[in-house]
Amino acid sequence: MDYREAGVDVEAGRAFVDKIRDMVNGTRRPEVLGTLGGFGGCFELPSGYQRPVLVSGTDGVGTKLKLAQALDRHDTVGIDLVAMCVNDVLTMGAEPLFFLDYLATGKLAPEQLAQVVSGVASGCKTSGCSLLGGETAEMPGFYAPGEYDLAGFCVGIVEKAQMLDGSQVRVGDRLIGLASSGVHSNGFSLVRKIVAEAKRDAREAGRATGYSWAEKPEDLNGESLGEALLTPTQLYVKPVLAALASGLEIHGMAHVTGGGLPENLPRCLAEGQAIRLNAQSWPVLPVFGWLRSAGEVALSDMFNTFNMGIGFAVIVPANQVEAGRSRFEQAGIAAYEIGEVVAGNGELWGLPTD
């Protein structure tokens, strides 16, 4: 017996590293030391900081991977992986410096996983961080054929005096909501259940329940379900960092992930504060309307599961709302005044009810 007979192809692993080498090198920042293939990735701290603070984050893509694997399209989930991590560290005012990924599969499929890494590299380039290294684990018998899992790890940097930790937020501040690109990477266990089990007219496609990923419901303006739901998570790093550099006074930020607006918006507040939301102040994307209708999902459950069209929020003084909105609109991201900070104990008021 040998390792290959046990299901692990060491040579295929080496060939895979060679295949992705140019992708990784294409994300290289000047602070990167050494080359791909060492036991660790080395990164020199950028100069110019008085008291630099490193901010770290880790996340995955969740069961959205099931959709990517069903459709045999793997580049967008790599972008999702980066976005889930870099958007998190951004909320503290940190610039992402480098990213590491972990890829696990039952049997190494170089073409499939190279698509994943191409998405990771694309996300890193868009966010201005280096893909410093990673791990590809081949584990026969642990994953079904064609399946893989992903995890990502990001490190960013911020000047300690400029770090956002909630203490800067004031009652009377306003929230600018930045538009999401779609469902992003949360709630896909419910998404998949809706698509697989939603009740429908038995005369349609000859069946009473369920949809295929290729179908194009009228609500989605010509997109198939698969296309709409695989849309990658919006990367907010460069527009937000540019807004900070321009002098926009940002007091707090929130990345809207699992748990939707109710779970994430209050996380950036100080003690004794709450948020009054104006839920009619932004357009809800068509994909959320379709999910709600097809799955007969209560509106409260929609808001507690999905981002509902707002993927990121920044808190600014009331007199800077229009300047902030204008700056984000110029960067290509729709921005809306969605609420204000009020006195309270971490509540989010103003959510629509069924």
Listed by start position, the domains of the chain span 10-162, 174-349
What is the side-by-side order of every strand in the sheet holding 348-349? 252-255, 310-316, 174-179, 335-343, 273-277, 348-349
Q: Supply the pLDDT for residue 313.
A: 98
* Contact residues for 334 (Cβ-Cβ < 8 A; gap 6+): 178, 179, 282, 328
Q: Supply the pLDDT for residue 207.
A: 59
Please report which confidence band the pLDDT of residue 143 belongs to, taking 50, 70 and 90 as the band edges.
very high
Q: Supply the pLDDT for residue 4.
A: 76
Given a contact cutoff of 8 angstroms between Cβ atoms, the answer to whether 151 and 60 are in contact is yes
Q: What is the pTM of this model?
A: 0.94
Per-residue pLDDT of 284-309, as tens digits, reads 999 999 999 999 999 999 999 999 99
7 has a pLDDT exceeding 90 = no
Q: Supply the pLDDT for residue 10.
A: 76
Per-residue pLDDT of 34-53, as tens digits, reads 887 778 899 999 999 999 99
Instruction: Indicate the pairing of strand 252-255 with strand 310-316.
Output: antiparallel
Strands (E), the chain: 32-33, 42-43, 52-60, 95-105, 130-138, 148-159, 174-179, 252-255, 273-277, 310-316, 335-343, 348-349
DSSP 199: B
Residue percentage of the chain with pLDDT more than 70: 97
Per-residue pLDDT of 182-235, as tens digits, reads 999 999 999 999 999 987 765 455 556 789 999 999 889 889 999 999 999 999
Q: Supply the pLDDT for residue 34.
A: 84
- Rounded to the nearest integer, the mean pLDDT of the chain is 93
Q: Supply the pLDDT for residue 219.
A: 85
3-state SS class at 210:
coil
CA atoms within 13 A on the CB side of 240: 34
CATH fold of 174-349:
Phosphoribosyl-aminoimidazole Synthetase; Chain A, domain 2 (3.90.650)
Both tokens of 33, joined, read 């030391």
Q: Supply the pLDDT for residue 18.
A: 80
Kindly state which CATH superfamily the domain 10-162 is placed in.
PurM-like, N-terminal domain (3.30.1330.10)
